[in-house]
Amino acid sequence: MEAGRIIAAVVISLTLSACAPGSLGYLGFNPNKPQAVANITQVTHDDFEKLTIYHGPDVLSKEPTELFLYAVKSDATGGFTYRIYIKSHSWPYYHSAYDSNGKGLQLSTTYRDGPNNCMPDLSGNYNLCRYEEEVVLPVTEEYLKENQETGIRFKAIGERTDQVFFIPPGYIKGFLSVTK
């Protein structure tokens, strides 16, 4: 009986900590804390392609958009490629991006699909549909290191909308600590 109470208390405190101020994620994940980011960055290895893949947690942790850092390390060369990854569940039709210093960031659409799973709106028209768009912004390790004290604030510009994103300095530090 006592073990059940302890488990219930832990579950409740973890659930409440996810809603605490300054916490944007699940199970208390705070993208401003490097160790929190490092602890939940996923690292996998592909034995066939001989690549190690680093997938950072979602900075935003909310629909309709996800934002995270992603890196790939080649076993053959030891070299890394880094990307900022945006997954949107709408169709902004992003075509370009600029950081807060005016630097143009290369943007490539990797996936666009929809409309799917359409639902009728209040007037009976099937306008409530799910759209998906995924874009990547290749960045260098140097660019990430240059911005690990201030974070990266950038604007993705689309045909249907523009959106400003921010990757906190602690997130960048935590992610880079895993890719060393």
Listed in sequence order, the DSSP H helices in 83-168 are 141-146
> Does this model's pTM top 0.95?
no
Has residue 28 got a pLDDT over 80? no
Please state, as a whole number, how many other Cβ atoms lie within 10 Å of the Cβ of residue 178: 18
Sign of the C-alpha dihedral computed for residues 38, 40, 45 and 50 taken in this order: negative
Task: Please give the single-letter amino acid code of residue 41.
Answer: T
Query: Helices then strands (H, E): number in the chain?
Result: 4, 10
Reported as a single tens digit per residue, the pLDDT across 117-176 is 666 666 666 566 667 889 999 999 999 999 999 999 999 999 888 999 999 999 999 999
* CA 16 – CA 28 distance, rounded (Å): 8
What are the domain boundaries of the chain? 1-30, 31-178
User: Chain-wide mean pLDDT for the chain?
Assistant: 83
